[in-house]
Amino acid sequence: MTDLELAALVLDSWDFTDPAGSQQRFTEAAAAEPDPVRRQVFWTQVARGYGLQELFEAGHATLDTLGDPDGLAPEPAVRSLLERGRLHNSSGAPQTAVPFFRQAYERATAAGLVGLAVDAAHMLAIALPPEQHEEWAHRGLADAEGSDDPLARRMVAALLNNLAWTYGEAGRRGDALPLFERAVEIRRAAGVAEPLFFARWARARALRGLGRHEEALAELRELAATPEGAEDSYVAGEIEANERRSTA
């Protein structure tokens, strides 16, 4: 199995709406896997599943069983560093997470693991102070462009979304909107409902920030008519905010 095939297998095995179920699938896959490198990769995803359930100690204990990343093959080493960083970041310690993400980026780049390098850049654009977000988002996008790595391709919309929020929070709303729009198109092409829903909501929020209330309302009312948006408080809140401003 090639690196790209393994990356695709890991991606296809994840259901981020059900981290406990995903964690169980990876646990079973690790227990049944005879190849040591693939088995270690699966255990890193077990740790990620624990992190998404906020079971941080269990996640760290799982990664501890793999040993020092220096003794692992490139892919499990990078994934171990990434998941260690994610556990720290999700538990409220981004400053502790950053060195793990930096090591993951450097090792992934050196090993030609483009998707994992993009993932690490994405996490650095989240965990570092705001003034460094743009640099790492652009670095991740540059790495992902033209890559055939399935993880790199899948990370593009997330990087665009995060960079757009960085611009918006800095008052650069005109720069943010085209990035939100690109993220929507990528999510639409992928055809997965939940990420597309959130991308469209973010675009509507950006439209409100630019005072384009009628456009935002059109988007939000379409979202409110979907199963995901029918009882979503964020959609309802944005509709109310836009209606209030459009009639002011």
Residues 69-98 pLDDT 10s: 999 999 999 999 999 999 999 999 999 999
The residues of the chain scoring below 50 in pLDDT are: none
For tokens 């720069």, name the residue. Answer: 175
Q: Helices 74-90 and 94-111 sit at what angle, rounded to 10 degrees?
A: 160
Alpha helices (H) along the chain: 3-13, 19-32, 36-52, 56-64, 74-90, 94-111, 114-127, 133-144, 150-169, 173-190, 193-209, 213-224, 233-246
116 in Cβ contact with 75 (< 8 Å): yes
pLDDT of residue 4: 56
pLDDT of residue 67: 95
pLDDT of residue 7: 57
What is d(CA 190, CA 186) in angstroms, rounded to the nearest whole number? 6
| pLDDT, mean over the chain | 91
- The helix/strand/coil state of 200 is helix
pLDDT of residue 211: 94
Can you give the pTM of this predicted structure?
Answer: 0.85
What is d(CA 25, CA 19) in angstroms, rounded to the nearest whole number? 10
Which CATH number is associated with domain 1-129? 1.25.40
pLDDT of residue 1: 55
pLDDT of residue 2: 60
pLDDT of residue 150: 84
